[in-house]
Structure formats: structure tokens, C-alpha cells
Amino acid sequence: MKSSPSHVRVGIVQQSCTDDRQTNVDATVAHIQHAASQGAQLVLLQELHTSLYFCQTENTHLFDLAETIPGPTTHVLSHLARALNIVIVASLFEKRAVGLYHNTAVVIEKNGDIAGSYRKMHIPDDPGYYEKFYFTPGDLGFKPIATSVGKLGVLVCWDQWYPEAARLMTLAGADLLLYPTAIGWGSQESDPAEKIRQRDAWIVIQRAHAIANGLTVLVANRVGFEPAIPQSSQGIHFWGSSFIAGPQGEIITQANQDSSEILLADLNLHQHEHVRRGWPFLRDRRIDHYQGIIQRYLD
């Protein structure tokens, strides 16, 4: 079993994407190299970073974007992780078998090996986010992935709205919670106040996960306008705002809302122990009275 380090420098890549896979991959590689040159030992990438966010429409031809794991992207990132001696968390459209696809985060260790994967569990089906058409719900459970920089509780986007997911990762020993993300405002959203409420809710819910579990949370979001595929005037303006929140919900660093950016932060993982001693939420949980949580609704 890998022991967790006391300190780790982390990097988050927030980038805009194009409809050309190679352009996206090249940009991602350059961002990772820059983060590593600044001392990052762990780099988190945004959700589905090799393409435009294709789930805005239902189109069977877009299944061609999927790839196997291991596959082309993990080959590139494994080589990069080994060359730079860093851990990389990437989010991919996984082709598991013919007609079976997942939204999958893969963790690549410093030696280039795949340390583990997480398949997105909560799958949305909303205007502009038709993910149920493309993705089979995950079947790997909420299990942290052991790496040289700690046990990573990797979740994906829509998972970030569910406190149960964060809690189960914590109870399984996660040292950090990580969320590759793709979220923004649809073209139809024109009310400035509503836009602010949506973005604020997204930030607050994840800061709450940090507080409730006494863990640092890393969030990597897309940025920029992406049209629906095929090309359309409709689309999503991804609001960026990638951030890192400490175990008391404090914002350690946050990206802008308009352009690509690399976030860097030095984390003291021993702080989690200090915070949990003062706020012993795990100690005081009434697990003997939580049976209702596994019900859809308590009628």
C-alpha cells in the first residue's frame, strides 16, 4: 500500500477546446508540461478534454469519438507522466466494448502505469447535457485510487452535486477529492442574476463537500463557448472558474471565467488531520439511523 505524502504541489488545467482532437491533445500536453515545470506533482485535467463537449446533441456518429483504455490518449499521457515524473488525472470517452461506452477518469502514475479508473456514476439528461444517450452509468464504485501522491477520490462533473459520492470516497480513505468538469450556461440563459446563482451554487456545493469531509477539493472546468455539434448558433458558454478549496471550504486558488489557465497550489495534507480533530464530523455520524438514505424517497 502506498503511503500518502505530507505535502504535494498540484496543478489544474483549464482550457478551451476545438473540434480537432490533435489540437486539443497538443494543447493539453503543453499545459501539463508547463505545470510540471512549475513543480506540479499531480495534474488534473477537465472533463472530456480531447474534444468539444459533444453531449449537447444526440448523434450516433459521435460515438466515433470514443477510445479504449488503454488507448491513444492514455499512451500519450503515460509517456508524458513518465518523462515528467508526475501523476496525471485525465477524463476520457471510454469505448469499453462495441455499443458500450463510459465517461471515465483515468489516473496515470509517475512511472506511466495506469493506477486505476473511475467511471462516472451520476449521468445527467438535461437540455444541452444529453449524457444518458452516450454513457452507461459507472460500475467501479466509489473507490479512491492509490498513487504516489496519495489516495485520489476521483469523481466526474454531475457527481459533484451529490454529497453521498464525496462521503463514500472519504470513508474509503481518500486524501483528496478531484472533479473533472464540464459546466456552463446554455445559449438560452440570458438572465444575469440567474447565471450568477448557477455558478455560485456550483462553487458552494463543492466547498461544502470539502467542509463536510475535511478534505481539499480540486475542480477542473472547461472554458469558452462551444457550439452544439453539428455546428449551430446554440451552444454552451463554459464558465471556467476552476478552483481548489481547502478542508474548511476556503478558496485556495481560482481560475478566471474566460480563458485557458493553469492553477498551481501547495497542499499540506496533514492539515486534514488537524481540521478533522477540531470538527469531528466522521466521529459523530449516526450511522445507526441513516437507513433511509438508500431509499429513492421516504413516502
**Residues carrying an active site annotation:** 47, 120, 157
**56 touches 104 (CB < 8 A):** no
Rounded CA-CA distance 151/299 in Å is 38
The total number of residues written for the chain in this structure = 299
Residues in Cβ contact with 172 at an 8 Å cutoff, skipping those fewer than 6 apart: 142, 143, 144, 153
Task: For residue 266, give the H/E element and its range.
Answer: strand 261-268
Nearest by Cα to 255 from 242, 265, 267, 238: 242
DSSP one-letter code for 52 = -
Nearest by Cα to 162 from 194, 132, 124, 106: 124
Nearest by Cα to 168 from 147, 138, 148, 198: 138
Please name every residue paired with 166 in a beta bridge, in sequence order, or none if there are none. none
**45 touches 13 (CB < 8 A):** yes
How would you classify the pairing of strands 125-126 and 114-119?
Answer: unpaired
Q: Copy the grid coordinates of residue 56.
A: 449537447
Show the CA angle centred on residue 33, arms to residues 27 and 38, nearest 5°. Answer: 130
Alpha carbon 228 to chain centroid, angstroms: 22
Q: What type of residue sits at position 253?
A: T
